[in-house]
Amino acid sequence: MTTLSVLARTAFSATVMIDASRARYHLAQPVEWSLNGGEQSGVSTVVPLFLDGLTPSTDYTLRAGAHEVRFATLPCAGAIDAAAFGVAPGSADNAAAFAEAVAAVPHGGALIVPRGRHMTGPIFLKSDMTLHLPLGAEIATHGDRTDWPILPSHDAQGRVVGTWEGLPEPSFAAPLTAIGCDRLTITGGGILDGGGDRGDWWQWPKETRQDARRPRSLFLAHCTDVILSGLTVRNSPSWTVHPYRCQRLTAAALRIENPADSPNTDGFDPESCTDISLQGLRISVGDDCIAVKSGKRGTGTDRRTDHIAPTRHLTIANCLMQDGHGAVVMGSEMSGDITDVEITRCEFHGTDRGLRIKTRRGRGGEVARIALRDVTMHGVGTAIAVNAFYFCDADGKSDAVQSRAPAPVDESTPAIRDITVEDVTIASLRHAVAALLGLPEAPIQRVRLSRIAVDYDVNAVAGEVLMACRLPQIKHGGILHTFADIEVDAPLAPILKEFQDAV
């Protein structure tokens, strides 16, 4: 039986999920579909079906297999053709023309990007608008940062708008930037090319130029009620899609693609966000695929905490994560808390780690109530990695951070608790089923692993299971844990083997 559900509707598109309650990302069998009796038709091999080129305020019937679902597109108060304001494929920089076009969009209206590749600098969006980037249309940045807009760390209202790895810092604006935008939709089968391979963005990954940090490809700050659907976002200068302090955001049927060797090009980084739904995403990047964050405390003489806020109520479902460092990652910037995360029916292929939680002394905050269910992993290094000794930042390998002796507990002591992993199938595993290294002063609490099936890569070589000092390299490990309360209900061997050099 084929089940259908409508995940995201806009004036010009809809995302329908096929068999989302049973399949993961790929369908067990291809499914033929047709829209309104043949207006559009095709065959889907994956759960997310993105339908573009629809008409506003129109009823549609999608039939897939023997079942159908009905939906209506949303109204549009007026569609603006960006070409009418001078946006053209032949222009070296369409930023000024895009600015005029965005300003002309009426409340509740849409900006339509014409087909072709449009070179531009950053485009700033506004509330109550739709940006429609149809199939064949591409927004691509030129890479010349000479006059590139820079976001300050704080705006005139005191809100953080420039941010870098959990701290307020001036940053180059993203090719698509939305600050304080409510009821914003970005949709279509087109491409946003962040231009990471143009200019010198990837040559200074942890540095500054013009006193600013590298841009993201799509940056949304202080936005509510956002829909992102259908787009391919690629070639990012740094993190790819970065919602910061956003509420009620849905991302559906996106493709996020960066070269494997591009530095710190995470795929999707919700930071200090609430009520976020990521469904039907396909991600292959140069760092973590989905990296959940909530800001970090300052270090040394900079002890800022007023910028941190929680990330909570996050759903990740029917997604495919490929070839990144981690498939779904919490931290390491997690000082504001990361709680209530559900990861269901996903596929992890070739990532260094599957579910990864990383923090260290000095971060504070907690990661709690994280559940991973009904997931397949293939060719991953370590399936479950939980590390409270992550050696990030300049002092990350110092004795204060890496000592296995108990340290005093205070507000800067991070906590990890209530992690559930169940119904997981792991094929061609290289290093370990699970590696958990907690703090002696704040052990990892209540980890439960159930119904996990594993086979190992016979050609694997021993490798790093966690990024912490003084750990052995492992091949074909079972469950490795120290300073962790763990309950295992799975026929795994070897079982409950301690790290030899962790203490």
Just list the catalytic residues.
287, 325
Of residues 496, 414, 405, the one with CA closest to residue 447: 496
Strand 26-35 to 40-46 pairing: antiparallel
Tokens 């292959």 correspond to 284
Segments in 49-158 forming alpha helices (H): 95-104
Residue 465 makes CB contacts below 8 A (sequence gap 6+) with: 381, 382, 385, 431, 432, 435, 471, 473, 474, 477, 480
- Whether residue 392 contacts residue 332, with contact meaning beta carbons closer than 8 Å, is answered with yes
Of residues 309, 321, 141, the one with CA closest to residue 215: 141
- Whether residue 300 contacts residue 273, with contact meaning beta carbons closer than 8 Å, is answered with no
Backbone φ and ψ for 104, nearest 5 degrees, come out as -80, -10
- List the structure tokens of 444: 């990892």
- List the structure tokens of 469: 């000092």
Question: In Å, what is the CA distance from 151 to each residue of 178, 202, 318, 416?
Answer: 11, 19, 34, 33
- Whether residue 228 contacts residue 205, with contact meaning beta carbons closer than 8 Å, is answered with no
